[in-house]
């Protein structure tokens, strides 16, 4: 058992009562007044009762917690709290405290007026922050019955872990390029395993053309054979180069450019998986680089979400170096997706990285001023090459990617 903390000792009456006991006792000593000795003894007895009774109130209490091991950011989970009071006597005015890091205010108290035998409490909690969070340990507090001292006991082996995956937002279209460099034109590509043919236009019939490609309406109108022309569109391979550099993260909490980047990365991965594309992830965690090669399928997508849940903006390196390293690791057919602000350092010639002259990186560019709360609009967008999505704090991200 421990007290409520030396930093808050003055918030409870107990320490002040101890000072009063000492003052009254000194006054009785100096004056020899019996009444003052009696008052000092009464105050001392009250202080001892306020010290011992809360400790007795906590004896024999067992606490356990049950909750899912995995959930998604923004979802509600049910927490089950089980308490047992061993012995014949009931316990009163208890406070069970838990540390839940996925909340904006992690310290979560549960108040219990009376506990006798076994009780179970269930309550919903919304997981506000993605990440791999270590919960607890649980503690139980009491200041019953005199509220002189707040006594706390920590519950052994009550820590646990929960993974809160980032929640993707709906994404219905995206301008991508396949291995042949042919853009999808912003429309959704059907899920296929080896690419697909995309309608490119019409032309005059040539010997050897398949009759299946005859455009009958155009042929009747022109009074000559007209065929549909198709161009092969291969599945795209995306590499998400997440910006985990501490210096490039602007804003706080969920309203930071990094958290926006994580949600956008999860949504791009969801879109790619749903439409038969391959997607990979390149990031830095502290001083270590993590490379998840592009692949397709739900298992790979789940693995990528776990990577996103675990990452934080704690890198001390340079985003330009991260981009250059990703360009070397990714194959020539991969399309890099970059997350940065106008002030992020980028490698020289980053708009035409080796082997990608025909495929400029897809950019997610954050308006740093808006994440700082500045209403001014940043300039310089025209200097950035490639397909670009401009993101400001508070934007509806679904609408941003549909423009």
pLDDT tens-digit map of 296-328: 999 999 999 999 999 999 888 889 888 988 988
Is there a domain that residue 179 lies in?
Answer: no
> Where does the pLDDT of residue 115 fall: very low under 50, low under 70, confident under 90, or very high at 90 and above?
very high
CATH number at residue 258: 3.40.50
Give me the pLDDT at residue 54, please: 95
Give me the pLDDT at residue 347, please: 60
Give me the pLDDT at residue 382, please: 38
3-class SS string, 302-371: HHHHHHHHHCCCCECCCHHHHHHHHHHHCCCCEEEEEEEECCCCCCCCHHHCCCCCCCCCEEEEECHHHH
Bigger pLDDT: 70 vs 233: 70
Give me the pLDDT at residue 9, please: 56
Query: What is the mean predicted confidence (pLDDT) over 82-95?
Result: 94
Among 26-35, 100-109, 171-180, which is the least confidently predicted range? 171-180
> Where does the pLDDT of residue 5 fall: very low under 50, low under 70, confident under 90, or very high at 90 and above?
very low
CB-based contact 347:320 (threshold 8 Å): yes
Give the single-character DSSP code of 245.
B
Residues 139 and 213 in one domain: no
Residue 339 has a CB neighbour count (10 Å cut-off) of 26
Average pLDDT score over the chain: 83
Residues 226 and 289 in one domain: no
Q: How far is CA 349 from CA 242, 324, 329, 341, 360, in A?
A: 19, 10, 17, 17, 11
Rounded to 10 degrees, the C-alpha dihedral 205/210/215/218 comes to: 10
Of the residues 165, 187, 206, which one is the last residue of a structural domain?
165
Residues 142 and 18 in one domain: yes
Residues 229 and 257 in one domain: no
pLDDT tens-digit map of 235-252: 678 999 999 999 999 999
pLDDT at residue 383 is higher than 70: no
Residues 1 and 45 in one domain: yes
Give me the pLDDT at residue 195, please: 41
Give me the pLDDT at residue 153, please: 93
> Where does the pLDDT of residue 330 fall: very low under 50, low under 70, confident under 90, or very high at 90 and above?
confident
Give residue 214's domain range: 197-233
Among 17-21, 132-136, 198-202, which is the least confidently predicted range? 198-202
Give me the pLDDT at residue 231, please: 52
Residues 253 and 141 in one domain: no
Residues 229 and 158 in one domain: no
Residues 38 and 81 in one domain: yes
231 forms beta bridges with 198
Buried residues in 30-68 as b, exposed as e (16+ CB within 10 A): eeeeeebbebbeebbebbeebbebbeebbeebebebebe
> Where does the pLDDT of residue 197 fall: very low under 50, low under 70, confident under 90, or very high at 90 and above?
low
Give me the pLDDT at residue 358, please: 45
Query: What is the mean predicted confidence (pLDDT) over 206-224?
Result: 79
Bigger pLDDT: 227 vs 181: 227
pLDDT at residue 26 is higher than 70: yes
Residues 74 and 210 in one domain: no
pLDDT tens-digit map of 118-169: 999 999 999 999 999 999 999 999 999 998 988 999 999 999 999 999 999 9
CATH number at residue 92: 2.60.40.10
Q: How far is CA 314 from CA 32, 244, 249, in A?
A: 67, 6, 9
Q: Is the pTM of this model over 0.85?
A: no
């Amino acid at each position: 058992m421990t007290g409520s903390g030396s930093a808050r000792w003055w918030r409870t009456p107990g320490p002040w009562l101890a000072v009063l006991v000492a003052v009254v006792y000194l006054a009785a000593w100096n004056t020899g007044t019996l009444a003052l000795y009696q008052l000092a003894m009464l105050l001392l007895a009250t202080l001892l009762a306020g010290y011992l009774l809360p400790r007795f109130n906590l004896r024999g209490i067992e606490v356990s917690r049950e909750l899912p091991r995995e959930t998604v950011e923004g979802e509600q989970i049910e927490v089950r709290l089980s308490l047992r009071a061993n012995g014949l006597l009931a316990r009163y005015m208890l406070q069970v405290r838990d540390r839940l890091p996925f909340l904006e205010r992690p310290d979560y108290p549960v108040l219990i007026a009376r506990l006798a035998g076994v009780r179970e409490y269930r309550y919903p909690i919304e997981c506000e922050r993605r990440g791999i969070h270590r919960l607890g340990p649980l503690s139980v507090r009491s200041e019953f019955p005199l509220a002189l001292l707040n006594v706390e006991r920590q519950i052994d082996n009550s820590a646990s872990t929960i993974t809160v995956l980032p929640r993707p937002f709906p994404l219905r279209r995206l301008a991508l390029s396949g291995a042949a460099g042919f853009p999808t034109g912003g429309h959704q590509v059907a899920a296929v395993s080896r690419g697909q043919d995309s309608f490119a236009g019409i032309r005059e019939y040539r010997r050897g053309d398949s009759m299946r490609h005859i455009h009958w309406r155009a042929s009747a109108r022109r009074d000559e054979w007209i065929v549909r022309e198709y161009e092969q569109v291969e599945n795209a391979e995306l590499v998400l180069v997440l910006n985990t550099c501490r210096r490039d993260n602007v804003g706080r909490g969920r309203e930071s450019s990094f958290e926006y980047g994580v949600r956008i990365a999860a949504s791009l991965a969801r879109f790619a998986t749903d439409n038969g594309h391959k997607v990979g992830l390149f990031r830095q965690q502290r001083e270590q680089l993590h490379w998840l090669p592009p692949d397709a399928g739900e298992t790979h997508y789940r693995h990528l979400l776990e990577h996103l849940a675990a990452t934080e903006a704690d890198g001390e390196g340079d985003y330009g170096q991260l981009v250059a390293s990703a360009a070397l690791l990714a194959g020539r057919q991969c399309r890099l997706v970059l997350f940065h602000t106008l002030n992020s350092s980028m490698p020289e010639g980053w708009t035409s990285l080796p082997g990608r002259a025909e495929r400029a990186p897809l950019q997610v560019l954050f308006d740093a001023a808006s994440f700082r709360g500045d209403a001014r609009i940043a300039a310089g967008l025209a200097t950035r090459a490639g397909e670009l999505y401009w993101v400001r704090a508070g934007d509806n991200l679904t609408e941003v990617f549909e423009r």
